Amino acid sequence: MNKTVNPNDLTSDDDYGPLYAARKKVYPQSVSGTFRRIKWGLMAFCLGIYYLLPFVRWNRGLGAPSQAVLIDLPNSRFYFFFIELWPQEVYYFTGLLIVAAVALFLMNSVGGRIWCGYLCPQTVWTDLFYAVERLIEGDRRERMKKDKSSDPMRLERISEIVLKHSIWLLIAWWTGGAWVLYFNDAPMLVKQLVTFQAPMIAYAWIGILTATTYVLAGFMREQVCVYMCPWPRIQAALTDEWALNVTYRYDRGEKRTSVKKAAELRVLGEHAGDCVDCYQCVAVCPTGIDIRNGPQLECIQCGLCIDACGNVMTKIGRPKRLIGYDNDINIHRRQEGKAPVYRIVRPRTVAYSAIIAAVGGIMIYTLATRSLLDVNVLHDRNPVAVRLSDGSIRNAYTVRLLNKSGYDRVIAIDANGPANATIHVIGVDSVTPDRPMIVIPRDSTSELRLLVTAPADSNPEKSIPVRFHVTDIGLGEAAFATDNFVSP
């Protein structure tokens, strides 16, 4: 990013070098080709999901939210299609984060910065903003000329600038708008938003995300990748010699020369490089670097220089992929006259895949087998045990029942502990003796006070385990929790 400084330029004696560096604005040129098409496709796919997902409906029955993906903060619920997570299950996200991180490592060891080049929101939105800019202000040369021009602004130029920023703001506003739709019923919230009846917090978040999108994609752009994002630094430590990165094949490209001279050299049977120094790879680069200088922190590996170079090679009748996904091993092999070797399957990628499979498998297993009925028991601490007037011993427990299903349940409670013990739940009149039954409404928890009384003659040991069984008497679904019965 820093310009190369010519020693002759440093003439002043008190020149301690610049304290800060002014940003060199990048004007990426439009390009067509395979990677550009992939990028358009992925952009449409990612933005499509982001903008439209809140409107996807999912029937969960009457009274439950019908939005497929919903973060319901007031009620502490997260809905994802058929999955409903409660706050105590947020640890599932730990698994999700591990999978996401290792997937990033895997991408990196297979094809370099695939995430940065194609999928990262910063890249996607910046790409979209560049497309708008290009549509309104023209391609690289025109934009450079317009920015440099010292002529007074004419109406045409002013309207161009106004139009560009308006469209940018519109996209940014839509981005913020889609964000808040994930937190409330989308159609209802849209209606509230347009009639100015939505909660203040919704407008505030739309405002914040409009601002960040507009600033990050419209102005900060590659500065985010170069200065703000930690991933370029991390990925440099994760890559290896087999990882395929966007690479200038200097074995083929050097020594650079003109098209004419190269043709002459080849006629004479001498070696000539394919690179004709046309600078198309530099012109299309969204971070403004020269890929021919080798792997660089600034390179997000979007593949646009591959397209640009490929188009030039086709024109001058040389084979494509002078710039391509490659690595240094193969460059050296070709220099030695050997065939290139591509090793996608290697210990590193196998290990990453295994971790993803293992963590993903555990997550799916726990999700699939998790109980929709749960019980927690907490023993009273003061007093631990109570002696009643007839000498019998009573322990009290706080029992929390969780009904995660979409319907009300009738639950029977049994306690397996001291011999001949009776149980009683405060506020619940037993229909059947010693087997209290209670109704837990759907998607809720109930906290009960449960008393276990052992007769005086049983005289149990100091502490014996008790197992509390809760059974849905309709479905037979059951859960249990264990605690202890203590004597005074």
Partner 1 sequence: MTDHHSDIDSVTGRSTTGHEWDGIKELNTPLPRWWVITFYLTIVWAIGYWLVYPAWPLISSNTTGMFGYSSRADVAVELANLEKIRGDKMVALGAASLADIEKDPALLALARAKGKTVFGDNCAPCHGSGGAGAKGYPNLNDDDWLWGGTLDQIMQTIQFGARSGHAKAHEGQMLAFGKDGVLKGDEIVTVANYVRSLSGLPTRKGYDAAKGEKIFAENCVACHGDGGKGNPEMGAPNLTDKIWLYGSDEASLIETISLGRAGVMPAWEGRLDPATIKAMAVYVHSLGGGK
Which residues would be at the binding site for partner 1 (CB under 8 A)? 2, 4-5, 7, 10, 13, 15-23, 220, 223, 227, 380-383, 386-391, 394, 396, 426-427, 446-447, 449, 451, 456
Smallest distance from partner 1 to CB 23, Å: 6
3-class state of residue 301 by DSSP: coil
Report the residue number, 59 or 389, with the smaller CB distance to partner 1. 389
Question: In the bound complex, what is the minimum distance in angstroms from residue 37's beta carbon to partner 1?
Answer: 33
Helices marked H in 295-421 — which ranges?
A: 304-315, 328-335, 347-369
Among residues 228 and 350, whose Cβ is nearest to partner 1? 228
Q: Least separation, in Å, of the C-beta of 60 and partner 1?
A: 25
Query: Smallest distance, Å, CB 7 to partner 1?
Result: 5
Nearest residue (CB) to partner 1, 4 versus 59: 4
Angle value at C-alpha 420, between 418 and 421, nearest 5 degrees: 60
> Please, which residue, 230 or 269, has the CB nearer to partner 1?
230
**Beta carbon of residue 281, minimum distance to partner 1 (angstroms, whole number):** 19
Residues 115 and 123: their CA atoms lie apart, in Å, by 9
Q: With respect to partner 1, which residue has the nearer C-beta, 42 or 412?
A: 412
Q: Is the peptide bond before 338 cis (omega within 30 degrees of 0)?
A: no
d(CA 164, CA 443): 48
In the complex with partner 1, the residue whose CB is nearer, 13 or 461, is 13
- Min separation Cβ 38 and partner 1, Å: 31
Rounded to a whole number of angstroms, the minimum distance from the CB of residue 400 to partner 1 is 12
Burial of 249 (0-12, 13-18, 19+ CB in 10 A): buried
Choose between 29 and 223: whose C-beta lies nearer to partner 1: 223
Question: In degrees, to the nearest 5, what angle opens at C-alpha 405 toward C-alphas 404 and 409?
Answer: 100
**Residue 403: burial class (beta carbons within 10 Å; 0-12, 13-18, 19+):** buried
Phi-psi region of 406 (alpha: psi -120 to 50; beta: other; left: phi over 0): alpha
